[in-house]
Structure 1
Amino acid sequence: MLLIVQPMVVHGRPVQTLTIAEYRPHMSSDQPTMRGMAKFADIVNRESHRRLVVSVSADTVPGSPNDQIKTLQAGGPGAPDLMLLVTPALRHLVPEFEIMDLPFVVHSERQAQALLDGPFGQILLSRLQGHGLTGLAWWENGFRQITTSGEPFRHALDLANRPVRVIPEPAFVETFKVLGADVVGLPYPELYGALKSGRIVAEDNFYSQILAGHFYDVQSAVSVTNHSYSAIAIVANSAVLRKLTVRDRNVLQHAAVEAGRFQRNLIREQAKTDRAELERHGMTVYNVTTDEIAKLNTLTDPVRQQFFRNYDPKIVDIYRRQIAKR
């Protein structure tokens, strides 16, 4: 662990130590989420006048996303008090988190930020309360792009009949099915090997994961589609929060929001750097035209409508009203 070390007693009062972890293993300290967690720890330490100390884990909770959530819910020795969790994991607790995984639900970083920081994002986080968790704020991974070997993706149906890896979750599976792809659901750790062997020839990811996975060794092109936005929630064990004073809970809430703004700026700047780095490694970057993006949006509309029917109409209505303001 990377620990921010402080005295265990301040002005005669015991110091409360909290641990925060990322959902991915082996993240380097210079990654935006790691730097965001360090910023969170710094704000908490400063604004609580060192009543609270946050230790930032350099690794994650082992197991599947469901295992991670169960560990966070259970608490106790070895469990983090807070975690960064993505919407494909959280949708298993609250189905409406899956809205953020659907194609083209947002079209810009500004729109995504307004949506998540507004009533829509807040009602999603509030639904975690019934599951022993408290959602504090929204961070992000950014937009997903499509990588390919062989023929690049430049037109809406260029993935037809080609084996494409997707996150093994319904929203991602159904999205690429309507694009005609031969869908293969695989977890991220298995992706490089499947690309190298030729079992699959395309996948979608945000720039940082394409780079971290060294996919430039086994993929020749990146097509900029921004077809899916990856949101991260900072989530706490509710029982841990209840042991804190209202004042200190407010400190955590404010720190999560402020560190989230910091992290978003980092991830957006890094996306530009990562894109250039992928080109340096030999990948060709294609900007898919607005006409083809419009076709993708139209092709995937039945997926959005199909999934919207499964959700709480109140939350869908809040989403639609907010998105209409863009």
Structure 2
Amino acid sequence: MLVTLFRRAASAARTLALCGAGLLGAAAAAAAPGPAGAVQGAQASVRELAIADYRSYLAEDHPVRQGMRRFAELVEAGSGGRLRVVLRADALPGTPAQQIAALQAGAPGAPALMLVAATGLAPLAPDFALLDLPYLVQDHAQADALLDGVFGDALLAQLAQLGQARGAGLVGLAWWENGFRQITSTGAPIRSADALRGLRMRVIDAPVFVDTARAMGAEPVPLAFADVHDALRSGRVAAQDNFISQILAGGLHELQASLSITNHSYGALVLVANRGAWRGLDPAHQALVAGAAREAGRFQRDAARAQARQAMAQLARSGMDIHELAPTERDKLRARTAPLRSSRLAQHSPALWKLYQAHPSAR
């Protein structure tokens, strides 16, 4: 019964999306062309949708940029060229919260579509913070099963419901990913759960990440990413956690000797659209964009995992000592963080938590 209700909620959200939101480029023509202007009319009928990521520093071969290109190809091909996705290399100014607020409001310069970290949506819909909980998602197979199923649809549906209530906001289209967070350290790799005890570790400045590090036994030091290099050089912190691609792209391997594969937190991305602008698309194009977003999301997740393997090999060649935490030691960390999961889960939707528990991948 619970699953049926959430399927209906997700279906209703999709229907809402197919009646609603994404910022259209100025290429859309307001007036129909006359017979003498057939060529001009055909050109004017092309509509542009701008897409951006919340980060401006991504290389062109980054999995997110690969996914954006794939999304653009699918939309243009599926629309027969009547829709064109424009890939922006810049990002909206400000913090993630300020970026999301600008996208919601359709502020000047805001794109139609943006990739945002799931954790950034938590102030709007608190259940999006569920995915940040330590060891809630334990591997890629579980991530795919949850996000591509009723659990993921139910989360996206919450954005549609918020927008309907407020008359503005966002439409959640698909799940992409940053991947799993790992730990780098100055000395030897972390080979046991006990090796984390007392380790001064930089974490994202958000309660769930601070509490996770503390529950694992480390001494969390919340810092913005821009401050990580200085903190490592000065010895203020001896470790930090991040995605493998970010460890390489951010040059953290130049300051840290070891990489420990802990998979302690999963970082999901959400492709969202400005709700008011999404309504500028007809239902057929909305369905096309939504389908392309999901297909491109699956493509991007595969690309992210492939690049993580390549990045790990590159980090090893650079001299990093890489160690994958043994399952028994990972189980110890999962047990240590169980009270945190329990206390945080009490703050979230009981129905959503039941969907998670009911899924065969939850163990």
Assess same fold via TM > 0.5.
yes
| Partner of residue 253, structure 1 | 290
Structure 1 Cα separation of the partners of residues 317 and 359 of structure 2: 39
* Identity level (%): 44
| Partner of residue 158, structure 1 | 195
Aligned ranges 1:82-121 → 2 under 5 Å: 82-121=113-152
Confirm whether residue 191 of structure 1 aligns to residue 222 of structure 2: no
Alignment partner of 2:358 out of 309, 314, 321:
321
**Shift, 1:47, TM fit:** 0.6
Is the 1:115–1:323 Cα contact (8 Å) retained in structure 2? Answer: no
Structure 1 Cα separation of the partners of residues 248 and 190 of structure 2: 18
Is the 1:139–1:233 Cα contact (8 Å) retained in structure 2? Answer: yes
| Partner of residue 324, structure 2 | 287
Is the 2:145–2:361 Cα contact (8 Å) retained in structure 1? Answer: no
Structure 2 Cα separation of the partners of residues 288 and 297 of structure 1: 12
Structure 1: gaps (5+ residues) = 1-5
From the superposition, tell whether residues 10 and 158 of structure 1 become closer, same or farther in structure 2 (CA, over 3 Å): farther
RMSD of the TM alignment (CA)?
1.8
| Partner of residue 74, structure 1 | 105
From the superposition, tell whether residues 226 and 10 of structure 1 become closer, same or farther in structure 2 (CA, over 3 Å): farther
SS at match of 1:158: helix
Confirm whether residue 139 of structure 1 aligns to residue 176 of structure 2: yes
Structure 1 Cα separation of the partners of residues 114 and 44 of structure 2: 26
Is the 1:101–1:171 Cα contact (8 Å) retained in structure 2? Answer: yes
Bigger CA radius of gyration: 2
Alignment partner of 1:59 out of 90, 95, 113:
90
User: What is the CA deviation profile of residues 62-81 of structure 1, one whole-angstrom value per residue up to 9, with x for unaligned ones?
Assistant: 11010110110011431111
Aligned ranges 1:296-307 → 2 under 5 Å: 296-307=333-344
Is the 1:88–1:169 Cα contact (8 Å) retained in structure 2? Answer: no
Is the 1:28–1:58 Cα contact (8 Å) retained in structure 2? Answer: no
- The amino acid across from 1:170 in the alignment is P
Structure 2 Cα separation of the partners of residues 194 and 90 of structure 1: 28
Q: Give the count of matched residue pairs.
A: 322
From the superposition, tell whether residues 198 and 323 of structure 1 become closer, same or farther in structure 2 (CA, over 3 Å): farther
Aligned ranges 1:208-287 → 2 under 5 Å: 208-287=245-324
| Partner of residue 32, structure 2 | none
TM-score by length of 2: 0.85
SS at match of 2:158: helix
Q: Which has the higher contact order (CA 8 A, sep 6+)?
A: 2
Structure 2 Cα separation of the partners of residues 121 and 10 of structure 1: 40
User: What is the CA deviation profile of residues 66-98 of structure 1, one whole-angstrom value per residue up to 9, with x for unaligned ones?
Assistant: 011011001143111110011221111111111
| Partner of residue 3, structure 1 | none
**Shift, 1:325, TM fit:** 5.8
Is the 1:85–1:233 Cα contact (8 Å) retained in structure 2? Answer: yes
Structure 2: gaps (5+ residues) = 1-26, 30-39, 164-168
**Shift, 1:35, TM fit:** 1.0
Structure 1 Cα separation of the partners of residues 226 and 50 of structure 2: 25
SS at match of 1:282: coil
Structure 2 Cα separation of the partners of residues 34 and 117 of structure 1: 21
**Shift, 1:133, TM fit:** 0.4
**Shift, 1:222, TM fit:** 0.4
User: What is the CA deviation profile of residues 191-239 of structure 1, one whole-angstrom value per residue up to 9, with x for unaligned ones?
Assistant: 1221111111111111100001111111000011111111111000011
From the superposition, tell whether residues 12 and 58 of structure 1 become closer, same or farther in structure 2 (CA, over 3 Å): closer
Structure 1 Cα separation of the partners of residues 105 and 81 of structure 2: 26
Is the 1:19–1:56 Cα contact (8 Å) retained in structure 2? Answer: yes
Structure 1 runs of 4+ aligned residues shifted over 4 Å read 6-10, 323-326
Is the 1:27–1:59 Cα contact (8 Å) retained in structure 2? Answer: no
Structure 1 Cα separation of the partners of residues 28 and 118 of structure 2: 36
Structure 2 Cα separation of the partners of residues 139 and 247 of structure 1: 23
| Partner of residue 172, structure 1 | 209
- The amino acid across from 1:192 in the alignment is H
Confirm whether residue 39 of structure 1 aligns to residue 76 of structure 2: no
